[in-house]
Amino acid sequence: MRIAKSSLIEPGENQLYGTVAIALSVFIFAYSTRFGQVSILAYYGLWFPLILVNYRTVLGNYTRYVWIFGFAVFCGLSIFWSAAPSVTTRTAIQYMTHVVCALIAMRTIDIRTLTRGVIAGIGLVLTYSLLFGVYHFDPIDGGFSFVGSFASKNQLGFYASLGIYFAFAAAFVLGERVLWLAPCGVVGLLAAYCLFASQSATSVLTVAVVIAISLGLRVLQILSPDKRKILFLAGTVFSIVASVGLIYGGGIDLVLGAFGKDSTLTGRTYLWQQGIEAAGTSPLFGIGYQAYWVQGFSEPERLWEEFFIGSRSGFHFHNTFIEAAVETGLIGLFLLCLILVVALLGHLGRLLSHARDPDAVVMFGVAMLLVIRAFVEIDTMTPYHVGSFLLYFTAGKLTLRQSKAEFAVFVPPTIPQRDIAAFEPAGQIEAAS
């Protein structure tokens, strides 16, 4: 039996394989710590063998990805000055291979297949958590919250927020048909329940903001690109003014109070202060990738004790920028911010400039979600994490040339088919580099 290559590596033609591969990857990201190395090998087995099918198509020209690989390469270089070389070596290799898998997925999976795969994967993750999950007591805020099969309610909240966002994107942005609308609705409701049970204020607020912005951008798609840019600029200025008024008018305290939080964000402001002080010890290069939270080191041991982390693992500064500055210094922080900013603004530019680009709307929402969460979590800095996978997938999509179909949206429907060629750029337009 011969399997067509297109059913494995051709975007849009490999929906069955792509959906299954993305769904299993999301499940592995969630519970790799439970299932161990076998699950990681399964993750690699989903993506690396595709190189053997057609390495030119699957890998592409990696010289175009220099800015994407910058942070991962610098993490590897930090081995030479790391305070914990063995830890840095292992995790840097894991992070680099994880980035490669994300870029392979980016070149072989289209946005619709990604959305379906994430919805299916989130459904598996949340179902598993509901079947085998537990409640944990938080000694900081003095309450119980549902953490599912995770060690933290924030991780459960993150997966739940992804479920809500992608269900929204499938129904209202990509316009999925009835066959997929029912699963989207089920996963969306399941995610909403888990989000409520987890009591993760971070996840609730971020997904609410991102969906509100996505709805606004969806409305903007009705306008011409020029009017779209003007209205978006006006909306941005209004949002900034409203945010400043909310901060100085005490609105932030009211919002946090609704979730049982205070202005210290349950001790995070103190943790951020400690992180800034730690970053000052080696401001340019950092102390090494993943080399701070190491058992036996005095400072992390103190913070673990102060925050009642009995396992002495799985803890961080709850801020991507501070964590990056501590581990990789200002150089690493710049390289990571470059990926985040380009991914966000790149897709924003596409959706504001094109007559209709639902893919850009979905990818912009993902980038926005990750950027907002970067201020309170570190979703993009660790290997085998759905956040870092989505970041490099989203950023990588900007390196692909636009397909012929994307140019077709600019052609007025009244023009005869024989004259459409006059609107196309000179030379052959490739679907992918």
Residues 6+ apart with CB under 8 A from 319: 268, 272, 275, 374, 375, 376, 377, 378
For the segment 282-292, the average pLDDT, to the nearest whole number, is: 96
Examine the pLDDT at 405 and tell me if it is beyond 60: no
Examine the pLDDT at 71 and tell me if it is beyond 90: yes
**3-state SS record for 221-278:** CCCCHHHHHHHHHHHHHHHHHHHHHHHHCCHHHHHHHHCCCCCCCCCHHHHHHHHHHH
3-state secondary structure of 431: coil
Examine the pLDDT at 395 and tell me if it is beyond 70: yes
Residue of 52, 58, 64, 174 lying closest to 113 (CA atoms): 174
- Distance between CA atoms of residues 361 and 172, nearest Å: 11
C-alpha dihedral (61, 67, 69, 72), degrees to nearest 10 = 180
Q: Identify the band that residue 218 occupies on the pLDDT scale cut at 50, 70 and 90.
A: confident
- According to DSSP, the residues that pair with 148 across neighbouring strands are 134
Say how many CA atoms lie within 13 Å of 338 toward its Cβ: 14
Q: In b/e form, how buried is each residue of 367-394, taking b as 16+ CB within 10 angstroms?
A: bbbbbbbbebbbbbbbbbbbbbbbbbbb
DSSP 62: G
Give the pLDDT of residue 243. 64
Residue of 365, 360, 359, 395 lying closest to 380 (CA atoms): 395
- Residue with the larger pLDDT of the pair 400 and 323: 323
Which amino acid makes up residue 103? L
Q: Encode pLDDT of 250-266 as tens digits.
A: 555 565 565 666 556 66
For the segment 34-62, the average pLDDT, to the nearest whole number, is: 93
Which amino acid makes up residue 197? A
- Distance between CA atoms of residues 360 and 391, nearest Å: 14
DSSP 403: P
For the segment 94-100, the average pLDDT, to the nearest whole number, is: 97
Mean pLDDT of all residues in the chain?
86
For the segment 236-262, the average pLDDT, to the nearest whole number, is: 63
Taking CA 169 as the corner, what is the angle to CA 184 and CA 369, rounded to the nearest 5 degrees?
115
